[in-house]
Chains A and B, each alone.
Chain A
Amino acid sequence: MSERNNLLEVDNVTIRFGGVTALDGVDFSVKEGEILGLIGPNGAGKTTCFNAVTGVVKPTSGAIRFRGKTLVGQQRHKITRLGIARTFQNIRLFPEMTALENVQVGADARHKTSVVGALFRTWRVPVKPHELVEVDAKSGFGRAVQQVRRTGQRIFGLSRHTLEERAAKEKATELLKLVGIEHRAGELARSLAYGEQRRLEIARALATEPGLLCLDEPAAGFNPAEKESLLELIRKIRDTGVTVLLIEHDMRLVMGVTDRIVVLEFGKKIAEGTPAEVRENPAVIAAYLGVPTDAA
């Protein structure tokens, strides 16, 4: 593998909850453009590690850097804007919003319009001809109104709100297509099937335009066919230039898709390397078979 820049550096991170040490001096880095797997038995600290990266929990000590910027102590929404997005192990969509709206919320992370812009439609931008309102109403009156609006837009331009709104919708539609649920765009998130909800979560995370996408057990509860298509999706996402950090229980899935793997056990890193290396690592085998490491 060629030398690439480190996108994310987790540097000697320790996290304690009361007396429990969830992560103990964990060190690893994610390189630009790779798919890194984070594996380990239950309770190894994988999700805690994710939570630390996305700012949900604060490390007791150690540093986390993304593109050289430190993340510790940053507000969570700012971390998202720096370029880290995630999904949740137990799906957390906005159930009463449509699939499209869910993704639009993600896309909004990149938008600047706020209350004033939305209310008064300020920040006018000169309009390009193809962006004008179409005059297509059936009734004469409707056409007249549209004509007036068209003229207005020509004179005053479009607001940043309108442009962003359009961009958000386009992007959201595109992402729904990417994850393969564009036909459910208008449905409420809560009424989607389980697999569709998992895919919707990925689309929503991608909408924030992340440099690094963190997937927390995206294949949980999937059958083999669904897992296969998920693998394909993850590769597709990587090919668009997004680095992927993947927590996964299913060893086969991890081995099949990742470039490198980091193995955690009891909050400590016990191995790191390519899937082939990790597979042969005695400590990893011991951890997964339940043999104490020192005996292996």
Chain B
Amino acid sequence: MMAVLDSARKADEGRVRAVTGLRDRWANLPYGWRISVLFAFIIFLYALPGLEIPLISTPDTDFTSVLFLCAVYVLVAVGLNVVIGLAGLLDLGYIGFYAVGAYTVAILGSPNSPVVIQFPWVVCVPIAIAVTMVSGVILGWPTLRLRGDYLAIVTLGFGEIIRVFALNSDITNGNRGITGVPVPSEGTWPEWMDWFPGITAGRPIFSVSNVIGFYWLALTLVFICMLGVRRLERSRVGRSWLAIREDEDAAEVMGVPTFKYKLWAFAIGAALGGLSGALFFSKQTFINAQGFDLFTSILWVAAVVIGGAGNQLGVALGAILLAYLPERFREFADYRLLIFGVALIVMTIFRPQGLLPSRRRKVELEDRAKEGAVGE
């Protein structure tokens, strides 16, 4: 048994070295090369729905829908990463924000909601983001003064409260839910897009039956948000978050307004969660409380940590695996969560730093492992 563990661990170390080597080589590439490769990769992501790649496409489900789900989960992970990976706040009820965003769009935009306003999508979404941000602040204001573990249970409670509210309140139509959630635009594909596989000119861009439009929109939003978070990460804000994560009291004494920045982390995380919820349920066109169980919320946290909290590419990878694997392996539907659970345990034992750790975390964990070994 131990021998197997050891050899597995060795193999994994080899993989890590390969990844690290790749990262260094990437950093040493000329600027122009890096830009071009990045550009090509982005084009590739946009083209994915049109490419029939044999191994990765999903036989049982519409591949573009799976891609869309991946993009939404990545957006969720990017937001959750701000809260957990950067500021170090354990938010187990993130799905509450997702729900608030989704319901705001549904209530304001749908013709079948109890509130008949029927704003267009482009108006609903900014309002949804604002509402989720405010809900993040309302939740954070009293609770961010609490210590980490308490925050976990309080956020979990928040997620549950939102779900129960959605299930029982009149404004959400209770369990019947709301149909006719608005789509981003009623427009149709123009002639000149006709060449792309799967697109027929004159058909609506955003429809349930053909989600290429949704996928492209989601992908674009993912890029924008990742860029935005990256900007924050490499600024005073990001440094303050890290300092708070490391030692909150010391940060405060060094002049970091910790409460303010924790609140910002919460609000930004909430806004991104709200945006992803709004996006996902625009595609579904139907929303009810079923989609918001806490279990999903906890899986998201797992995806972020497994991917490598603190590293945007890592959390994106974690989110993609979480969204993609169950769709790819439908035949194991009954056992997929069981496998997932076991995988989580195995992962934490072999790769506690996540699949793609942030540079810092990697060194830290190596140091800790050494200390642990000495302490034995």
Contacts and interface: CB of A to CB of B under 8 A. Distances in A.
Interface stretch (A11-19, A136-144, A240-248, A277-285): A136-144
Interface in B226-255: 228, 231-232, 235-240, 242-243, 245-247, 249-255
A204 B255 CA distance: 11
B168 to A, nearest CB: 35
Interface in B258-274: 258, 264, 268
A191 interface: yes
B68 to A, nearest CB: 26
A75 B258 CA distance: 11
B240 A108 contact: yes
Contact of A80 (B35, B231, B254, B367): B254
Contact of B255 (A81, A137, A145, A161): A81
B243 A97 contact: yes
B246 A96 contact: yes
> Which bracket fits the contact residues of B?
35 or more
A159 to B, nearest CB: 10
Contacts of A113: 235-237
Interface string A66-109: 00000000011100110001101000111111000100111011
A97 B245 CA distance: 10
A227 B236 CA distance: 34
Contacts of B209: none
Contact of A94 (B31, B231, B242, B268): B242
Contact of A101 (B237, B239, B361, B364): B239
B256 A142 contact: no
B30 to A, nearest CB: 4
Contact of A118 (B236, B255, B360): B236
Interface residues of A, number: 49
Contacts of A85: 254
B360 A96 contact: yes
A76 B252 contact: yes
A114 B235 CA distance: 9
A236 interface: no
A135 to B, nearest CB: 11
A204 B236 contact: no
Given A118-B232, A141-B36, A145-B31, A188 B364 contact: yes
A109 B33 CA distance: 38
B363 interface: yes
A115 B264 contact: yes
A119 B235 CA distance: 9
18 contacts: A56-B249, A77-B256, A85-B254, A92-B249, A95-B247, A97-B243, A101-B242, A105-B251, A109-B256, A115-B237, A118-B235, A119-B231, A138-B31, A139-B32, A139-B33, A142-B35, A190-B367, A205-B254
Given A88-B250, A105-B239, A188-B364, 19 more contacts: A75-B257, A80-B253, A81-B255, A86-B253, A95-B246, A95-B247, A97-B239, A97-B360, A105-B243, A114-B236, A117-B235, A118-B232, A119-B232, A139-B30, A141-B31, A142-B31, A145-B31, A161-B235, A191-B367
